[in-house]
Amino acid sequence: MNRLNRKTKQRLLKLVTHIGALIPLALLIWDFNQGQLGADPIREITLRTGKTAITLLVLSLAITPLKIWFGWNQLHPLRKLLGLYAFLYVGLHLLIFVWLDYGLDLELIYVAIFEKWYALVGFAAFLILLPLAVTSTRWAMRQLGKNWTRLHRWVYLAGILAVLHYFLLVKNAYTSPILYGAILLLLLLTRLKPIKQRIIHLRRGRSKKQTIHPKKPEFDIR
């Protein structure tokens, strides 16, 4: 029964993740059809797809730290799901850049990528995420073996580049990029072995104390 409940919870978590990840896209399509994207719709679409991409990427990177901090192992299956949705929005973000913004003009796109720092950094992040998305299947995991883990560690560099891309893209509105950067730094620090071991030790020690000295009921009848 407990196993069934655990499976049901995982299915619900996946369902909520699917819905939550697709809501920004649905809202974007709605606003586009209603003509509610402001005076510069291409920039608005670019910013919204990019912000959703970085949010989902950071959430994906947060899964393991949340397991370390709180022991939330049930979140583990969501890591790949969030990562794939992040790549979906990254792909849309890039498509808007090369199609709507630059009209698929290869010469202009080349110049933009190699002359504008935000475009170069963003494109580098995309190139890193591309093989990670392609090798996200179980078949790829079996084929690559230990190399799969080494390859997918590059996601942290992609996260750093994504934050830097966001910082370079916005003008005089650095609050959000700095916030994402601070969160990403915290997540990366949590993955460092000494810090990770210390957090796990503290969590387990706290759990043992609660087991040995259970909390008294609110109403003590003695």
pLDDT value for 212: 54
Counting DSSP H helices and E strands in the chain, the numbers are: 10, 0
Give the pLDDT band (50/70/90) at residue 18.
Answer: very high
Higher pLDDT, 10 or 23: 23
pLDDT value for 149: 86
Quick: pLDDT tens for 75-100: 888 999 999 999 999 999 999 988 98
Query: Which helix (H) or strand (E) is 74 found in, with range?
Result: none
pTM (2 d.p.): 0.86
Q: Directed axis angle between helix 155-169 and helix 41-70, to 10°?
A: 140
Residues 6+ apart with CB under 8 A from 91: 126
The domain limits of the chain are 2-211
Quick: pLDDT tens for 117-164: 889 999 999 999 999 999 998 899 888 888 888 888 899 999 999 999
Does residue 214 register a pLDDT over 80?
A: no
